[in-house]
Chain A
Amino acid sequence: MLLLPYREQRIEKLRRAIYRKKQPVTLFTGQRIIMTIQQIIFILISAFTLFMALVVVVDRNLFRAAIAMMASFLGVAGLYVLLEAGFLAVAQLLVYIGAISILVIFAIMMTRRLMQTHESPFNSQPIWGMIGAALTFVLLALVAIRTWPQSDFPGPAPVPASVLEGNVTQLGLMFVRPDQLVLPFELASVLLLAALIGSIVIAWPEKKS
Chain B
Amino acid sequence: MSFNIIDFLESVLTLSIADYLRDVWAGDMPNWLIEVIIDVVGILIVSTFLLILTLYLVLILRKVLARVQDRIGPNRVGGRYGLLQTVADAIKLITKEDLIPSGADKLAFNLAPIITVIAALLMWAVIPFAPGLTGADINVGVFYVLAISSVSVVALLMAGWGSNNKYALLGAFRAVAQLVSYEVPMIMALIIPILLASSMSTQTIVESQSVWYIVVVPLSALIFIISAMAELGQTPFDLLEAESEIVAGYHIEYSGMKFALFFLAEFINAFFMSALFTTMYLGGWRGPGAAAYPLLGLIYFMIKTFLVYLFLIWVRGTLPRVRIDQLLYFNWKFLVPLVLTLILVVAVVAKLIPPDANEWLQAGILLVVNILLAVTALEFVRRYARSRRQAVEDDAESLGGAASALSGAAD
Interface residues of A (CB under 8 A from B): 1-7, 9-10, 12-13, 16, 20, 23, 25, 37, 61, 63-64, 67, 70, 86-87, 90-91, 93-94, 97-99, 101-102, 105-106, 109, 165, 167-169
Q: Is the CB of B151 within 8 A of A105?
A: no
Q: Is the CB of B154 within 8 A of A97?
A: yes
Q: Is the CB of B14 within 8 A of A167?
A: no
Chain B interface residue count, CB cutoff 8 Å, equals 41
Q: List 14 extra interface pairs beyond A90-B147, A102-B154, A109-B169, CB under 8 A.
A: A4-B14, A9-B294, A16-B22, A64-B107, A67-B158, A70-B154, A86-B140, A97-B151, A97-B154, A98-B147, A105-B154, A106-B176, A109-B161, A168-B140
* CB of B105 closer than 8 Å to a CB of A: yes
Residues of B within 8 A of A102 (CB): 153-154, 157, 176, 180
Stretch at the interface among B56-64, B79-87, B131-139: B131-139
Residues of A within 8 A of B13 (CB): 3
Q: Is the CB of B107 within 8 A of A3?
A: no
- In residues 152-173 of chain B, which contact A (Cβ within 8 Å)? 153-154, 157-158, 161, 169
Bound together, the chains give a CA A169 to CA B198 distance in angstroms of 9
* CB of B210 closer than 8 Å to a CB of A: no
Residues of B within 8 A of A23 (CB): 31
Residues of A within 8 A of B158 (CB): 67
Residues of A within 8 A of B114 (CB): none
Q: How would residues 114 to 147 of chain B score, 1 for a CB under 8 Å from any chain A CB and 0 otherwise?
A: 0000000000000000011000001110011011
Chain A residue with minimal CB distance to B169?
A109
* CB of B49 closer than 8 Å to a CB of A: no
Q: Is the CB of A6 within 8 A of B131?
A: yes
Chain A residue with minimal CB distance to B153?
A102
Chain B residue with minimal CB distance to A168?
B139
Q: Is the CB of B139 within 8 A of A86?
A: yes
Q: Is the CB of B143 within 8 A of A90?
A: yes
Q: Is the CB of A6 within 8 A of B10?
A: no
Residues of B within 8 A of A165 (CB): 139
5 A-B pairs with least C-beta separation: A98-B150, A93-B147, A94-B147, A6-B131, A25-B32
Bound together, the chains give a CA A142 to CA B153 distance in angstroms of 42
* CB of B384 closer than 8 Å to a CB of A: no
19 interchain pairs, CB-CB under 8 A: A1-B14, A1-B19, A3-B292, A5-B291, A5-B292, A6-B132, A9-B16, A13-B132, A16-B22, A23-B31, A86-B138, A87-B143, A90-B143, A90-B147, A94-B147, A98-B150, A98-B153, A98-B154, A99-B180
Q: Is the CB of A93 within 8 A of B108?
A: no
* CB of B369 closer than 8 Å to a CB of A: no
- In residues 275-290 of chain B, which contact A (Cβ within 8 Å)? 290
Bound together, the chains give a CA A51 to CA B382 distance in angstroms of 57
Which residue in A13, A87, A109 is a CB contact (below 8 Å) of B140? A87
* CB of B148 closer than 8 Å to a CB of A: yes
Residues of A within 8 A of B30 (CB): 25
* CB of B229 closer than 8 Å to a CB of A: no
Interchain nearest-CB distance for B327 vs A (Å): 19
Residues of A within 8 A of B148 (CB): 93
A3-B10, A25-B32, A63-B108 are contacts. A94–B143 as well, Cβ < 8 Å? Answer: yes
Interchain nearest-CB distance for A115 vs B (Å): 9
Chain B residue with minimal CB distance to A7?
B291
* CB of B200 closer than 8 Å to a CB of A: yes
Residues of B within 8 A of A5 (CB): 291-292
Bound together, the chains give a CA A64 to CA B157 distance in angstroms of 12
* CB of B329 closer than 8 Å to a CB of A: no
Chain B residue with minimal CB distance to A61?
B105
Residues of B within 8 A of A168 (CB): 139-140, 200
Q: Is the CB of B16 within 8 A of A1?
A: yes
Residues of A within 8 A of B150 (CB): 93-94, 97-99
Most buried by B among A16, A37, A86: A86
Which residue in B35, B138, B294 is a CB contact (below 8 Å) of A6? B294
Residues of A within 8 A of B131 (CB): 6, 9-10
Residues of A within 8 A of B153 (CB): 98, 102
Residues of A within 8 A of B10 (CB): 1-3
Bound together, the chains give a CA A109 to CA B168 distance in angstroms of 13
* CB of B293 closer than 8 Å to a CB of A: yes
Residues of A within 8 A of B139 (CB): 86-87, 165, 167-168
Q: How would residues 10 to 37 of chain B score, 1 for a CB under 8 Å from any chain A CB and 0 otherwise?
A: 1001101001001000000011100100
